[in-house]
Amino acid sequence: MARGRFNSKFAAVMAMAGSAVGLGNIWRFPYMVGEHGGAAFIIVYIACCLLVSLPIFFAESIIGKSTRTDTFGALETLAPKGRHVGYIAILASFIILSFYSVVGGWSFNYLIRSLGASFDGLGISEAKEVFASVGSSPVESVSCMLVFLGLTAMIVVAGVDKGIGRFSKISIPVLFVMVVIIAGVSLSLPGAEKGVEYLVRPDFGKLDGPAIAAALGQSFFSLSLGVGCILTYSSYMKEEDSVLQAGGWTALFDTLFAIIAGFAIMPAVFAAGIEPAAGPSLVFETLPVIFSRMGVVLPIIFFLAILIAALSSSISMLEVVVAWMVDRKGIARKYAVLIVFAAAAVLGGICATIPSVFGACDFISSNVLMMIGALGFALIVGWKMPREEVLSLVRSPFIYRLIRYVTPIMIIAIAVTNLL
């Protein structure tokens, strides 16, 4: 059975950027900045991306491009004794896809509400009641989750190039434009300069151990590392495409997008006189009210951007599991997608109705499974693969040394910090 292939470098980079540019940038990054002191956190975040997360990205890319197969098959080829790390990464992708679809469902729900101008005239307390009602309604929450999961499946079932590649080539540039538009409007608000100052003036006095660990964890989370997404997409790259260039462009897009998202959200938050450390509720409880005061169009643009960002990541998670079923089990793509859709719908439905299960899935995948996967990828590239083969793909002794020595230590440090 012939494997899929991206038909251009642009499609491959946009797909990888889409996997990275997800809710972690629009939803998670701004409130992390708000909780940990603004610009100082951003500086540490960028340093963590360059020194820790990008080398892991390269490690996954090297494995994927050198083996041209799914996550489990790649590790079985390179390190048979460590092949079970492949199963862990695939399991992590499945779990994340399941609970992530719940949040994606919220995004779809809020887009529909925005189209109906449902947030017009609401106050913050009323917006909180709306979000509470969405989360507490099993029918509403599960049905929206299924719609989101269905959209994800429709893209993946179309194939690597005609589905994932085509969606990414169109959606990611459009997503950037939408976030830039939101940032432009946000920056024009009276009082927005306080939000800009918060983002550009570092206060290193607020940088404590937890803040540094949060920056490291966010850089790791943002690039979709340790779950096989980058490995799988890299296995679809053309032979002549450069791993180094793909990784560099993806990291640049991801970091730039996160920063633009910060400028889209924080100036509006300060202009409205809202506490910047409001946490995850910023997106679904606070911003709908702020943006609805600027007209009916901006909330639609914002939640459409949220939905596209969520889809760009969910398709990569689904593709990891589908690639394993197609490559290892010989199942036709359409049936593999249907099987994973059904299984994720069951777990996603449970996550949507039982908050403790949602939290457990988030914790286990983010703090345990992703870390094991990333550590396994780094150790295989750094200590198992021949140095010459690695350098032929990444062309940088410095990056090779980071993968071999620094990255494993930092992954263990992140894991220990998150579990304490």
The pLDDT tens digits for 220-268 are: 878 889 999 999 999 999 988 888 898 889 888 888 898 898 898 888 8
pLDDT of residue 279: 61
Could you tell me which residue, 87 or 416, shows the higher pLDDT?
87
pLDDT of residue 277: 63
Give yes or no for residue 403 having a pLDDT over 90.
yes
Quote the CA–CA distance of 378 and 385 in Å, as a whole number.
Answer: 10
* pLDDT over 70, % of the chain: 98
Q: What is the DSSP letter of 228?
A: S
Name residue, tokens 């199942």: 331
Give yes or no for residue 147 having a pLDDT over 80.
yes
Whole-angstrom Cα Rg for the chain? 20
Domain boundaries, the chain: 9-419
Quote the CA–CA distance of 87 and 194 in Å, as a whole number.
Answer: 47
Quote the CA–CA distance of 33 and 46 in Å, as a whole number.
Answer: 12
Least confident stretch, 19-33, 64-78, 96-110, 192-206: 19-33
- The tokens describing 238, both together, are 């053309």
Give yes or no for residue 28 having a pLDDT over 80.
no
Quote the CA–CA distance of 406 and 218 in Å, as a whole number.
Answer: 18
CB atoms under 10 Å from CB of 125, counted, come to 9
Q: What is the DSSP letter of 52?
A: I
Plot region of 122 (φ>0 → left; ψ -120 to 50 → alpha; else → beta):
beta
Quote the CA–CA distance of 46 and 50 in Å, as a whole number.
Answer: 6
Name residue, tokens 């490995």: 231
Quote the CA–CA distance of 322 and 335 in Å, as a whole number.
Answer: 9
Q: Which CATH architecture has domain 9-419?
A: Up-down Bundle (1.20)
CB neighbours of 363 closer than 8 A, spacing ≥ 6? Answer: none
pLDDT digits (tens, 9 = 90+) for 114-129: 999 888 888 878 888 8
Handedness of CA 39, 25, 375, 403 (dihedral sign): negative
CB neighbours of 235 closer than 8 A, spacing ≥ 6? Answer: 3, 64, 65, 67, 68, 69, 70, 74, 323
Quote the CA–CA distance of 246 and 71 in Å, as a whole number.
Answer: 19
Quote the CA–CA distance of 284 and 106 in Å, as a whole number.
Answer: 8
Q: CA 157, 158, 159: angle at the middle one, nearest 5?
A: 90
Quote the CA–CA distance of 17 and 22 in Å, as a whole number.
Answer: 9
pLDDT digits (tens, 9 = 90+) for 298-340: 999 999 999 999 999 999 999 999 999 999 999 999 999 999 9
Q: What is the DSSP letter of 66?
A: H
Confidence band of 2 (pLDDT split at 50, 70, 90): low
- The tokens describing 304, both together, are 């459409």
pLDDT of residue 93: 96
Q: Which of 233, 220, 224 is nearest to 64 (CA)?
A: 233
Give yes or no for residue 275 having a pLDDT over 80.
no
